[in-house]
Amino acid sequence: MRAVVVDWLVQVHVRFRLLQETLYLTVAVLDRYLQENDVSRSKLQLVGVTAMFIACKYEEMYIPTVDDFVHISDNAFSKSDLLKMEVVMLKVSLAWGGHYLSIFCGVCRKQVWWMSPFTLWPSTSWSCLY
């Protein structure tokens, strides 16, 4: 079921035009929560969207609203459900260290920065090394 949720989150990520780091952080938060908690099938979409909402707050300059997340989920849950799940998930994330998100985001930024010459300017990528 995790794979189905992650595939759907990729589609949501594309639809909202979010940063690549936001998607990586979303999956990291989702995996950490699933590692610590048993989640029923009916709540898995809520947990995934909440992980993305948390990641957006950390990475994005302009984040989609709670209503946007509820709407894209076809009203499978309410606005208050998402906000309550955010509190629950943040309690779990605070238990595993407040610095984790900073470290994770820093590593992602360095990887993106290092790879950018190769992905943005493939024809000149080797010339930057000389």
Q: What is the pLDDT of residue 127?
A: 47
Q: What is the pLDDT of residue 126?
A: 47
Do 38 and 69 form a contact (C-beta atoms < 8 A)? Answer: no
Nearest Cα residue to 88 out of 61, 49, 50:
50
* 121, part of any domain: no
* 20, part of any domain: yes
Do 111 and 79 form a contact (C-beta atoms < 8 A)? Answer: no
Q: What are the start-end ranges of the H helices in 60-98?
A: 66-72, 79-95
* 49, part of any domain: yes
**Domain region containing 54:** 2-96
Q: What are the start-end ranges of the H helices in the chain?
A: 2-16, 20-36, 41-59, 66-72, 79-95, 100-120
Q: What is the pLDDT of residue 44?
A: 95
Which stretches of the chain drop beneath a pLDDT of 50?
124-130
Q: What is the pLDDT of residue 121?
A: 52
CA dihedral 46, 85, 81, 34 (to 10 degrees): 30
Number of domains observed in the structure of the chain: 1
SS3 of residue 77 by DSSP? coil
CATH code of residue 79:
1.10.472.10
Q: What does the alpha-carbon distance between residue 60 and residue 76 come to, in Å, rounded to a whole number?
A: 24
Q: What is the pLDDT of residue 1?
A: 85
* 15, part of any domain: yes
Token pair for 29: 């938060």
Nearest Cα residue to 102 out of 20, 9, 28, 16:
28
